[in-house]
Amino acid sequence: MTTLGYALLGLLAREPASGYDLKRQLQAPIGFFWRARHSQIYPELARLEAIGLVTYQVVAQHDLPDKKVYTITAEGRGALRDWVATPAEAPVVRDEVLLKTFSLWLVEPAAAVALVRDQERRHVEQLQVYEGLHQQLVQRAGAALTHWDSPYFASYITLQKGIGAERQYLEWCRWVVLLLEQPA
Amino acid sequence: MTTLGYALLGLLAREPASGYDLKRQLQAPIGFFWRARHSQIYPELARLEAIGLVTYQVVAQHDLPDKKVYTITAEGRGALRDWVATPAEAPVVRDEVLLKTFSLWLVEPAAAVALVRDQERRHVEQLQVYEGLHQQLVQRAGAALTHWDSPYFASYITLQKGIGAERQYLEWCRWVVLLLEQPA
DNA sequence: GCTAGATATGTCAATAGTAACATAGTCTAC
DNA sequence: GTAGACTATGTTACTATTGACATATCTAGC
């Protein structure tokens, strides 16, 4: 089993979804800690189906193309639970901006500021997306938000991590710009 | 050119180093935003040498095996500078712990706490490493620490990002444990 | 009628990255 | 002496991931 497989099971454990749905979820709500393109998702779903962790039904839509709606099986849920209880690997980050920051002393402050401001803009947007998701979550979840065995609770705590990370990134961007624009 | 190539140039722009040195630096000081194994580093160095961005000399050591010490060329420095001034890709994170957290509602609180505590331990260690590097940096850099055209400045601001990220991760771990251990 | 864009699902070639294999010199502690 | 650990450099087979290609349906606006 690949990690992406567990990511998909984690989403399907909440509700059935098509490959296309999963693709979108791997961009927005969980995209800040795991990403995948559709060219990786479709074959992975086929593999999960082949080993019996998910099943699917073709659903015809009146106004849109047909879709395959995948559902997690009891075995899939079991496999996911076992995996969660197992120690995790250390996070891996590949941040091109920080890599460029590391060599920032080679370029003029103006170019440096442009780089960091660009990143700042990106994180402002991301923060807004996550805060929107947080609002939705609080409304939908109600009391379940703080129950450890509710998927809302799990969504809530992961989302809080994302919001915290975005805020920290923003603070850093602003601090760097301040340093760079400081009169010499 | 690959991103790893620029990572290596970024390190070599500060001082000449062997593949083994670079391997170590891709673990500790810049490992939190870019990682690579030696099996990726050695071929990449050969490629950089082939296109004239670095050169090397074999250095015999009295007490240790010979090593190849790589030095960045003027072309290498130019290529690095051009790359830094170019807009960067969004950061990519692959965090297995957060992926497991997303499915944390499937396991007992005890198993959940174990997962998060394990991660907490890891980040406590990392934070200590980075804070140690910070101390070293401040001592070595002196006034250069705040000069935009000094490599110390670039190291300083990237390291601050790492320290901030570790602190944020730790805070989150402790907050989650608090929630999970809260009487129901 | 046509075009652009979203929905929807796939394949395939190429690249990036990992894990394992391979070798060899030196140091320290037993 | 020797076993284990660290320095040092490489290759190779495999896996993961990306980017491009490929196709089809439906809606909305021109």
Place of tokens 């106004």: A63
Local confidence band at A31 (pLDDT 50, 70, 90 cut-offs): confident
Query: With an 8 Å Cβ cutoff, are A115 and B85 in contact?
Result: yes
Q: How many CB atoms lie within 10 A of CB A8?
A: 29
B83 in contact with nucleic chain D (CB within 7 A): no
Query: Looking at residues B6-19, what average pLDDT do you find?
Result: 98
pLDDT digits (tens, 9 = 90+) for B105-149: 999 999 999 999 999 999 999 999 999 999 999 999 999 999 999
- In this prediction, residues A44-48 reach a mean pLDDT of 98
Q: Do A105 and B172 touch (CB under 8 A)?
A: no
Residue pLDDT, tens place only, A56-92 = 999 999 889 999 999 999 999 999 999 999 999 999 9
Interface A:B, Cβ pairs < 8 A: 209
pLDDT at residue B40 greater than cutoff 90: yes
CB contact under 8 A, B103 and A154: yes
Write the single-letter amino acid at B1. M
Residue A184 clears pLDDT 80, i.e. is over it: no
Long-range pairs of A139-147 with CB within 8 A, sequence gap ≥ 24:
A146/B179
Extents of the domains making up chain B: 3-84, 96-181
Residue B183 has pLDDT above 80, yes or no: no
CATH number of B3-84: 1.10.10.10
Name the CA radius of gyration of chain A, rounded: 20
Span A91-110, pLDDT tens digits: 999 999 999 999 999 999 99
β-pairing verdict for A54-59 and A67-72: antiparallel
Closest CA to A146 of B183, B98, B114: B183
pLDDT of the residue at B28: 77
Cα–Cα distance between B42 and B105 in angstroms, integer? Answer: 43
C-beta atoms of B93 and A91 within 8 A: yes
Provide the positions of strand C that have an atom within 7 A of a protein CB: 7-13, 15-21, 24-27
In this prediction, residues A131-149 reach a mean pLDDT of 95
CA distance A160 to A61: 35
Torsion of CA B51, B40, B150, A94, to 10 degrees: 120
- pLDDT number for residue B63: 84
Report DSSP letters for chain B, one per residue. --HHHHHHHHHHTTS-B-HHHHHHHTTTTSTTT----HHHHHHHHHHHHHTTSEEEEEE--SSS--EEEEEE-HHHHHHHHHHHTSPPPPPEEE-HHHHHHHTGGGS-HHHHHHHHHHHHHHHHHHHHHHHHHHHHHHHHHGGGGG-TTSHHHHHHHHHHHHHHHHHHHHHHHHHHHHHHHS--
pLDDT of the residue at B99:
98
Nearest-neighbour CA in chain B from A158: distance (Å): 6
Token pair recorded at residue B179: 């929630």
d(CA B150, CA B14): 10
pLDDT at A183: 67
Long-range CB pairs of B19-24 (<8 Å, 24+ gap) are B19/B45, B19/B67, B19/B68, B19/B70, B20/B67, B22/B70
pLDDT at B129: 92
Share of chain B above pLDDT 70, in %: 99
> Would you say the C-beta of A39 is within 7 Å of strand D?
yes
A109 backbone dihedrals φ, ψ, rounded to 5°: -55, -35
Residue A182 confidence class, pLDDT cut points 50, 70, 90: confident
How far from chain centre, in Å, is Cα A143? 24
Number of neighbouring beta carbons within 10 Å of residue A94:
17
Query: Hunting for tokens 């340093």 — which residue is that?
Result: A179
User: Tokens at residue B164, please?
Assistant: 């901030």
Q: If you average pLDDT over residues B36-45, what whole number do you get?
A: 98
pLDDT at B184: 62
Burial of B86 (0-12, 13-18, 19+ CB in 10 A): exposed
Nearest CA in chain A to B173: A161
